[in-house]
Amino acid sequence: MNYLEALSRRYSVKKFNNQLIPQETLNNILESGKLSASSLGLQPYKIVIVGSEEMKQKLIPAFYNPSQISTCSHLIVIISKKTIEEHYIRGYFNHISEVRDTPLEELDPFKKSISQHITQKTPEEIFNWAEKQSYIVLANLMYAAAIENIDSCPMEGFRQDVIEEILNINSETEKVTVTLALGYRSEEDNFQHMKKVRKPNEKLFKFI
Amino acid sequence: MNYLEALSRRYSVKKFNNQLIPQETLNNILESGKLSASSLGLQPYKIVIVGSEEMKQKLIPAFYNPSQISTCSHLIVIISKKTIEEHYIRGYFNHISEVRDTPLEELDPFKKSISQHITQKTPEEIFNWAEKQSYIVLANLMYAAAIENIDSCPMEGFRQDVIEEILNINSETEKVTVTLALGYRSEEDNFQHMKKVRKPNEKLFKFI
């Protein structure tokens, strides 16, 4: 199956069949999330992987459509940072210095330009920017899942406060941005038989 | 090359080599953008593909780092809708009805729920939501490009007003969200030799 066939087969599953994804496959999908590009390389997010039955049960009331949560293999919760603190940037540069075996001083101009860039933004701009980076992760996870023949359903319809309480998230510094259920489609899910609807090329693309 | 190798090979290219991407490969990458999932299936965006040398030259002054624009094969500009008008939703449902050969009346409950969902949001919420969907497109394009062994560079650093003027965008209803240069890395681009920096698993993932 090539990647376009994989994407064409993908749809937003309403009901999974409770089958578990093999650990190695899940790891590959997560690796795809880890390799996501992010603005300035800052990766302003965290990825929570809910695999325990108990936690999934607890989370069900947070979702407007609970059928995916009760039948999926794993529920992924992507959490965005609301603020980029000075110490976060420092940690990032310490890490670059380590991985690339480069003295911190050499990285200083880049560090200064990032700090300046970040401090110029309003808290709301920072947060919107962080959420957009999280959507690259979401897309990468869905894409890898499709290639691995794993079904998925991205979900924005949830009660953020409920998830944040259950997952013990500090809502001053972080926010649940989007969730993704992973698993195998149930044979009973009729949505799999519906034709995919996408704007025709002439409405979506403009070549200049 | 499997998909994880392709993602590992990917980096944000600073300088391309001016070589053109074959039309078929470009079409595959764009198809991946077209197949992107979007919230409620609304695809609140448009994708402009800048291939002409003249247009690329015109756009150079809009970018803080112009080297990608002057050396890439194609520049993709993703434009988000700022508003979701009633007629847009109507058009969407007419299209679903056509593609799935389903009477409009049958789709009415779904249509009403979408209209209601949209009207509940503030203009700013609509726009932030639309931009996030555009980032799924961005990620899908980068992902497909990586698999096709095409290099890319996502760019958020540009003067929106300048691009909007050149591309003749109605800034009341649409906004340039993000851009993506596609092409082949130049041998002179030293960034390709740098080790990829990603948060270690224990800082990125939490399994529960």
Structure tokens at B197: 């920096």
**What are the tens digits of pLDDT across the range A152-189?**
999 998 999 999 999 999 999 999 999 999 999 999 99
Structure tokens at B67: 């080297």
How far is C-alpha A176 from the chain's CA centre?
A: 10
Asked if residue B77 is part of any domain, the answer here is yes
Residues of A in contact with B132 (CB under 8 A): 131-132, 135, 178
Say what the pLDDT of residue A75 is.
98
Asked if residue A116 is part of any domain, the answer here is no
User: End-to-end alpha-carbon separation of chain B, Å?
Assistant: 32
From the candidates A31, A34, A76, A176, which should be mutated to test the interface with B, based on the most B CB atoms within 10 A?
A34
Give the total number of structural domains in chain B: 1
Asked if residue B202 is part of any domain, the answer here is no
**What are the tens digits of pLDDT across the range B3-30?**
999 999 999 999 999 999 999 999 999 9
User: Could you tell me the CATH number of the domain that includes residue A162?
Assistant: 3.40.109.10
Distance from CA of B59 to the nearest CA of A (A): 12
Asked if residue B27 is part of any domain, the answer here is yes
Asked if residue B134 is part of any domain, the answer here is yes
- Its domain, for residue A55, covers 3-83+123-192
- One DSSP character per residue, chain A reads --HHHHHHH--B-S-B--PPPPHHHHHHHHHHHHT---GGG---EEEEEE--HHHHHHHGGGBSSTHHHHH-SEEEEEEEES---HHHHHHHHHHHHHHTT--HHHHHHHHHHHHHHHHTS-HHHHHHHHHHHHHHHHHHHHHHHHHTT-EEEEE--B-HHHHHHHTT--TTTEEEEEEEEEE-B-TT-GGGGSPP----HHHHEEE-
Asked if residue A171 is part of any domain, the answer here is yes
Say what the pLDDT of residue B1 is.
62
Say if residue B114's pLDDT is above 80.
yes
Are A46 and A99 in contact by the 8 Å Cβ rule? The answer is no
Asked if residue B199 is part of any domain, the answer here is no
CB pairs under 8 A between A and B: 167
Return the CA Rg of chain A.
19
From the candidates B1, B2, B4, which should be mutated to test the interface with A, based on the most A CB atoms within 10 A?
B4
Q: Which residues does chain A have with pLDDT short of 50?
A: none
Q: Closest Cα partner for A42 from A115, A103, A99?
A: A115
ipTM: 0.97
pLDDT averaged over chain B? Answer: 96
- One DSSP character per residue, B74-122 reads EEEEEEEES---HHHHHHHHHHHHHHTT--HHHHHHHHHHHHHHHHTS-
Q: Give how far Cα A50 sits from Cα of A86, A103, B39, Å.
A: 30, 38, 22
